[in-house]
């Protein structure tokens, strides 16, 4: 009882200390007079990228507070209201929107204020930087691997019966068959449109790309420095999943020993028969690779001098490996009684390995067509 009381007191003390520490480093209820929002400027501020943020706050008593994460402070982010234009805020990070059309003037704006005093706020602007390689991935998903099968249960050993003879063991259970891997999904069929734009806010021309998914009708948009960077489009088929391995067969139960001297003056008993081992389960088949998606390309003549920055991948998915066969269960040992030995069980049979899947089909290299390209932005 005393120990329980001590533990309760310790928990109360810890809880109180933790609560005090939270209040000590919180800006809630403090008269904050100054805010400074910073970000990791070593990360390229491009669509889809994630950038660490930090806030330093100062109270009227000149006490400083810094947020957890990038600044390694102790103030929780929940103490601040964060609003973002051109992205979203998540656990100390700015996540820039992937679609450049949704970012006005190539600029992301972040505004922060104490949660209990929105009259004190700080806004910073981050100009987008398109100096980064882009990969537009329209590949099919890989197939999932088949799970391995369970091993068969071991048979039970025989027991001596009332007449002194050993009982027979029971057969080991067969291992279950492995599950086949799933087929890889086909790559998407797409149409690519690209042109060059010269924006006065940037020194180098920008590659403006629209990729339309012909299978679901959705369009995706990209911007990239046309001089310094590379744009890769991928429509590979997904790889087939591997087949699951077959379960091993369970061992056969051993025969009962049987009485060596008899019981109640009777004759000695015979040993029981050992049981057969279970068969190994078959391996699952590998899944088939998905086919690559077709690509059609239409480029504005302005892109011709930058066309070397474009590359494509359109490979069929690889076949899934076959599952291994389960091994045969061992035989049960014969019992050895006074009147002789029982029969030894037989070993089970190995399972059969699964069949490897087939590779997906490649597609023909896309033909580039040059014509005037103008699409809505």
Residue 321: pLDDT above 60? Answer: yes
Query: How many CA atoms does the CB half-sphere of 258 hold within 13 Å?
Result: 27
Task: Report the DSSP beta bridge partners of residue 175.
Answer: none
**pLDDT classification of 8: cutoffs 50, 70, 90:** low
Between 17-21, 168-172, 365-369, the lowest mean confidence (pLDDT) is in 17-21
Token match 């491009």: residue?
A: 46
Cβ neighbourhood burial of 312 (10 Å; 0-12, 13-18, 19+): middle
Report pLDDT digits (tens) over 127-183. Answer: 999 999 999 999 999 999 999 999 999 999 988 777 778 888 899 999 999 999 999
Q: Are 291 and 363 in contact (CB under 8 A)?
A: yes
How confident is the model over 311-316, as a mean pLDDT? 96
**CA-wise closest residue to 238 among 134, 355, 359, 325:** 359
Q: What is the pLDDT of residue 377?
A: 77
- pTM score, two decimals? 0.80
State the pLDDT at residue 272: 86
Instruction: Set out the domains of the chain in order of their start, with CATH numbers.
Output: 32-129 (2.60.40.1930), 131-377 (no CATH)
């Amino acid at each position: 009882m005393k120990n329980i009381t001590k533990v309760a007191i310790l928990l109360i003390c810890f809880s109180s200390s933790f609560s005090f520490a939270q209040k000590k480093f919180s800006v809630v209820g403090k008269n904050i007079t100054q805010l400074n929002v910073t970000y990791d400027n070593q990360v390229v501020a491009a669509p889809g990228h994630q950038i660490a943020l930090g806030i330093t706050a100062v109270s009227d008593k000149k006490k400083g507070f810094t947020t957890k994460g990038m600044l390694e402070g102790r103030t929780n982010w929940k103490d601040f209201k964060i609003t973002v234009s051109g992205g979203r805020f998540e656990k100390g990070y700015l996540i820039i929107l992937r679609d450049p059309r949704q970012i006005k003037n190539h600029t992301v704006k972040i505004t922060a204020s104490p949660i209990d005093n929105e009259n004190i706020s700080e806004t910073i602007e981050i100009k987008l930087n398109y100096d980064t390689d882009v990969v537009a991935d329209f590949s099919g998903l890989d197939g999932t691997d088949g799970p391995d099968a369970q091993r068969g249960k071991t048979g039970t050993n025989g027991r001596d019966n009332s007449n002194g003879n050993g009982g027979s063991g029971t057969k080991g259970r067969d291992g279950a068959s492995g599950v086949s891997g799933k087929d890889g999904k086909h790559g998407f069929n797409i149409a690519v449109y690209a042109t060059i734009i010269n924006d006065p806010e940037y020194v180098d021309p920008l590659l403006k790309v629209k990729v339309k998914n012909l299978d679901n009708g959705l369009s995706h948009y990209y911007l990239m420095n046309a001089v310094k960077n590379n744009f890769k489009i991928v429509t590979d088929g997904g790889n087939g999943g591997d087949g699951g391995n077959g379960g091993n067969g369970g061992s056969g139960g051993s025969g009962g020993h049987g009485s060596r001297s008899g019981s109640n003056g009777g004759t000695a008993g015979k040993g029981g028969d050992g049981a057969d081992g279970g068969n190994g389960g078959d391996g699952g088949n590998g899944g088939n690779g998905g086919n690559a998606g077709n690509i059609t390309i239409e480029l504005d003549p302005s892109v011709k001098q930058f066309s070397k920055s474009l590359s494509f991948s359109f490979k069929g998915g690889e076949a899934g490996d076959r599952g291994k066969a389960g091994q045969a269960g061992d035989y049960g040992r014969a019992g050895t009684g006074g009147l002789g030995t029982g029969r030894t069980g037989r070993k089970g049979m190995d399972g059969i390995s699964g069949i490897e899947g087939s590779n997906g089909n490649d597609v023909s290299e896309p033909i580039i067509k040059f014509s005037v390209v103008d699409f809505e932005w």
